[in-house]
Amino acid sequence: MKARLYQVDAFASRVFEGNPAAVVPMESWPGDDVMQAIAAENNLAETAFFVPEGEAYRLRWFTPTVEVPLCGHATLASAHVLFTHLKHAAPEINFETQSGRLTVKRDGDRLAMDFPADQIKPYMMHESLPAALGSKPILVMKGKFLVTLFGSAAEVARLNPDMVVLKRFCESQGSISVICMAAGDEGSGIDFVSRMFAPAHGIDEDPVTGSAHCSSVPYWAKKLGKSDLVARQISKRGGTLWCTDAGERVIMRGTCVDYLQGEIEV
């Protein structure tokens, strides 16, 4: 089997920024084991595969070790490939996924993704969590992810988790991933910052995580009293998202940059 492969830096304004994703357009599905092996070979946070399905596309995402039910940056990268390289003519793209229909539209120079919101609730702090993260959060909340709040952007930037301990903790919580967030610095133009750790899914730190903002955007919209937010994920690569809290949905906007195009043979 031969297939085209595109590697795209998502939520990036230049190459080597944002979160790299591999995108593999297919005409029909290979075996799940083949897709998982391709994702492991790529060794990126996510490899996305899509197949035409009526007027939409069926989209699936794989980390190097597991298939995941939702991924933002690889959805953005897939839409970029369709609009830019495969010449998708309609103004929007509908993806059918494990998390329902996801729509991506052109929005000026950016692409806008429409994702389901995740409402988070206060959660008991496990005694091992501060040691795993290397700092004690002010508040712990839980939805699809474990969400931790810290006192400043600098504290989030300084976090240096013990990945062995954090992986053990995440696995004990049902292979959950951990968002660490704080308000942006005054005058920075950034409403909140975050980092995302997913060692139970084979990713110590995810550079920029669209799906995490389904949880964080509703929280900050309520806390700050506004629906439009600018978020910055402050991993080593970093990436910016322009977000809107739309009630049961979250709109996330970003840009993509091409890094690589090629052909795989398996």
Averaged pLDDT, 19-46 = 96
Query: Is residue 205 annotated as a catalytic residue, yes or no?
Result: no
Catalytic residue among 41, 46, 67, 248: 46
State the average pLDDT for the chain. 96
CATH architecture group of domain 121-247: Roll (3.10)
Averaged pLDDT, 185-212 = 94
Percent of the chain with pLDDT over 90: 96
pLDDT band at 48 (very low <50, low <70, confident <90, very high): very high
245: nearest Cα among 208, 220, 211: 220
pLDDT of residue 205: 95
Averaged pLDDT, 44-67 = 95
pLDDT in tens, 96-107: 999 999 999 999
pLDDT of residue 202: 84
pLDDT of residue 40: 96
pLDDT of residue 102: 95
**Distance from C-alpha of 246 to C-alpha of 266, rounded to nearest angstrom:** 42
In this predicted structure, the answer to whether residue 201 has a pLDDT above a threshold of 90 is: no
Specify the domain boundaries for CATH 3.10.310.10 within the chain.
2-110+254-265, 121-247
In this predicted structure, the answer to whether residue 190 has a pLDDT above a threshold of 90 is: yes
State the CB neighbour count (10 A cutoff) for residue 76: 31
Averaged pLDDT, 136-158 = 97
**Distance from C-alpha of 78 to C-alpha of 32, rounded to nearest angstrom:** 19
CATH number, domain 2-110+254-265: 3.10.310.10
